[in-house]
Amino acid sequence: MMYNRILSMLIALITCQVLFAQHKELAGFSKGFTPNEVGKRLAYHFVDNKHEFYDRYIHYAEVCTWNGALDYAVRAKDNKLIKLLVDKFEPLFSYEKELLPPMNHVDYNMFGSLAFKLYEITKDERYKKIGLAYADSQWELPQNAKRIEKSWADKGFSWQTRLWIDDMYMITVVQGEAYKVTGDRKYIDRAAKEMVLYLDELQRGNGLFYHAPDVPYYWGRGDGWMAVGMPNLLRMLPTDHKDRPRIMEGYLKMMQSLKQYQRPNGMWNQLIDESDFWVETSGSAMFTYGFIIGVQEGWLKASEYAPAAKKAWLAMIRYIDSRNNVTEVCIGTGKKNDKQHYHDRPRNAGDFHGQAPYLWCSAALLEE
């Protein structure tokens, strides 16, 4: 018994030392490049921004940015910022209620993740009620469901399944947050089942993902949703979950490939494997996040991936302009089997698709 106890203590000590070493390799940034400075710039800028709409509802990219700002605020222990972000939501309970997305699309339902995150911070039951409505309706087949939606539901998947690569953030983020709040295993099982489906359908031999089965292009931000969705889900999955090995396999395969495609300047291109395409910031930030979490969790070899993550982070910051807008962000992009379509996509400064993953990285780098 004494031997086993001593052995357990030694293993725990070694693990702590390894994790400390890994975290140390992701620190030491010079002034202007620290995650605290960057996160503060972007998060307070978000507070001052107006809502962004998808049709006439709160845009999923705004939800992602809001989530990132909250994560940063909590890690930075910035209570003023937390209050501002909570206050920003309050009108959605009353005179802005019509801006709440309907519960009929994968991009709309992910709004529930924000409600859950606010519940975790405030313990206000109003947020939990909203979050559960979005999480549960993602698996409740509507009466007017289409044939394909019924087919997915009959197989135990969300009726909102469509095999677009970005779904693997949109679905898993709300189901994962529901699991964190309730402890109900059904939510994490749903998320894992969906993730395995998308891995099997969209990941190619090189570790990257098509935008959709009929669109054979490795679009940066499309793949970025997987680079964020997989490690976030792995962090929540119980160690004995049956789908964990498959998801970990897909994650590690992708990270290895991304490391090979990282440009000399530290960034990644709009189409990852096309060297003559332009550098795109939102996807680059998402890949950086995937590296950071992998190093912190000990899934990726720190000596290889920490320098790559640090190089990417330093490169990313140079794309933030004087107004605290991330530049070179590809606008929202539906699937299209046309290479030129991805090349010609407009680029916006301050687009929430880019602001969000920069905040995710800032928050992740502040983890203790």
Tell me what pLDDT residue 24 has: 75
Position 11 pLDDT exceeds 50: no
CA dist 21 and 26 (Å) reads 9
Phi and psi, residue 183, nearest 5°: 75, 5
Tens-digit pLDDT profile for residues 226-235: 999 999 999 9
Q: What is the rounded average pLDDT of the residues 250-256?
A: 98
Tell me what pLDDT residue 102 has: 98
Position 1 pLDDT exceeds 90: no
Position 191 pLDDT exceeds 50: yes
Structure letter (DSSP) for residue 90: G
Position 186 pLDDT exceeds 90: yes
- Residue 326 β-bridge partners: 320
Tell me what pLDDT residue 25 has: 82
DSSP string of 133-202, one letter each residue: HHHHHTTS--TT--HHHHHHHHTTS-TT----TTHHHHHHHHHHHHHHHH--HHHHHHHHHHHHHHHHHH
Q: What is the rounded average pLDDT of the residues 156-177?
A: 96
Tens-digit pLDDT profile for residues 313-366: 999 999 999 999 999 999 999 999 999 999 999 999 999 999 999 999 999 999
Return the structure tokens found at 108: 């709309």
Share of the chain above pLDDT 70, in %: 93
CA dist 216 and 24 (Å) reads 39
Tell me what pLDDT residue 5 has: 53
Position 287 pLDDT exceeds 70: yes
pLDDT grade for 70, boundaries at 50, 70 and 90: very high
Tell me what pLDDT residue 17 has: 44
Share of the chain above pLDDT 90, in %: 92
3-state helix, strand, coil in the chain (%, to 5): 60, 5, 35
Position 113 pLDDT exceeds 70: yes
Position 237 pLDDT exceeds 80: yes
